[in-house]
Amino acid sequence: MSTGDFLRPLQWRDGRLYCLDQRRLPQRQEEVACADVRAVAEAIREMVVRGAPAIGIAAAYGVALAARDRYGEDAAHWRQALEQDMQLLAATRPTAVNLFWALERMRARAAALEGDPFPSLLAEAQRIHEEDVAANQRMGELGAELIAQDPGAVLTHCNAGALATGGYGTALGVVRAACAQGSISTVYAGETRPWLQGARLTAWELIHDGIPVTLIAEGAAAHLLRGGEVRWVIVGADRIAANGDVANKIGTYGLAVAARHHGVGFMVVAPTSTIDPATPSGEAIPIECRAEAEVLCLAGRRVAATGARAWNPVFDVTPAGLVDVLVTEKGVIHRPDASRIASLLEASDEKMY
């Protein structure tokens, strides 16, 4: 597979944003066409689009669509109306900081515009998209260098691949690059209940690219790590606090604890847009809770006993002290903490910390 030959879950065509509907995979490959900002917001909220980088990219295109419509309705007051649309997008998924990062970038671009804002805002959304792909490819290279130092099997959680980004992937970008170099013997993927992103999406994506994958039940992870075959647990992130605490798909924290206990490396792969310097620690990260039915039901059919309730947090927070390495497009941080993260964000060139 060449660096340009990978899945693109978001595509701009014919004046619309086309989103690969990740609720339908792996049984069906269908696209949802978003012609306005309300459709983009619904696609994010209903998990047609998922994964922090992909959510941010989709929101950027949503702002461009909103600007096109608002300027056409009232060229004199489009800015005020556009702000309402950005608030609509901001309310869709509270944990993924890439969403708010992308909205701020689009807001700053809009503030500098005169006349029809659509061409410039569309170009900005497309830049955000392409920058994400380039960042993913660079993170893949940097992470693969680390795996080459301690090759073997790896375990990943949820889906942090091309489907969760503009393309190529964060954690799975590292997997792709390391597999190409022959440093990974086996890729294990947790099934990731209750949405089964590992079973439905990661497994499908890796098979799509010709990378063999072995699926495990969530409860098998600690037993697998105890066996010594797995050398790295590799995950993405939805928000990284200023001190290095990591919010990611529920179940990540438990994997980090098990990895540390068994001497397995724990690698977080995320672009710097996922780092939120305004959030001091993981305790300040808002954790999204979704509907009980997602846990009580499977494929639309109730499997839990009648009368049972469910608690459905979508993310958990892994303390920075359990993270061995953070891989970003700007460099690699070993044992991330507030000082190292601040230095990375201030640097203009790639460095090792």
From CA 262, how far away is CA 228, in angstroms rounded?
8
Q: 194, 124, 139, 132: which is closest to 163 by C-alpha? A: 132
Is 238 annotated as catalytic? Answer: yes
From CA 60, how far away is CA 20, in angstroms rounded?
17
Cα separations in angstroms, 216 against 92, 159, 191, 221: 31, 14, 6, 7
The catalytic residue among 209, 238, 245, 324 is 238
Name, in order, each residue with C-beta under 8 angstroms of 261's C-beta and a sequence gap of 6 or more: 225
From CA 59, how far away is CA 288, in angstroms rounded?
18
SS3 83: helix
Cα atoms in the 13 Å half-sphere on the side-chain side of 42: 9
Say if CB 235 and CB 254 are below 8 A apart: no
From CA 262, how far away is CA 185, in angstroms rounded?
19
The C-alpha angle 18, 60, 198, rounded to 5 degrees, equals 60
At residue 17, what is the residue type?
A: L
- What positions carry a catalytic annotation? 238
